[in-house]
């Protein structure tokens, strides 16, 4: 399994609206893509606004490509992201997901 991790920061006053938007766009699209194994959204207050971390889990690289395209390191953005985010990070991170227990 592959974990795809994206990070972004909004203004504090946009936190709630962006969370709803993120769930409706990236969250919904990830969950609808065959091979997606889950989506987790984390947020925390910071001096520069509210930081978000979006983690999606994928069964394999083929499933990840179905969502992200051929360049899986490129971040996927939606039309209103520019309105909410303080910067648009161009890339994401991927980790092999391990399980113990």
pLDDT digits (tens, 9 = 90+) for 88-100: 999 999 999 887 7
Residue 101 has pLDDT above 80, yes or no: no
Position 52 scores a pLDDT of: 98
CA distance 38 to 60: 13
Domains present along the chain, CATH in parentheses: 2-96 (3.30.70.100)
Q: Indicate the SS3 state at residue 77.
A: coil
Write down the pTM of the prediction.
Answer: 0.93
Closest listed residue to residue 49, CA positions, set 8, 90, 88, 17:
8
Position 60 scores a pLDDT of: 96
43 Cβ contact list (under 8 Å, min separation 6): 15, 19, 50, 51, 52, 53
| Chain Cα centroid distance, residue 68 | 11
């Amino acid at each position: 399994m592959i974990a795809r991790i994206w990070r972004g920061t909004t203004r504090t006053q946009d936190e709630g609206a962006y969370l709803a938007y993120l769930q409706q766009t990236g969250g919904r699209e990830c969950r609808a893509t065959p091979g997606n194994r889950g989506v987790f959204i984390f947020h925390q207050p910071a001096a520069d606004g509210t930081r978000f971390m979006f983690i999606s889990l994928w069964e394999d690289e083929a499933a990840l490509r179905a969502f992200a395209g051929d360049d899986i390191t490129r971040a996927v953005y939606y039309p209103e992201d520019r309105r909410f985010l303080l910067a648009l990070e161009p890339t994401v991170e991927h980790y092999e997901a391990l399980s113990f227990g």
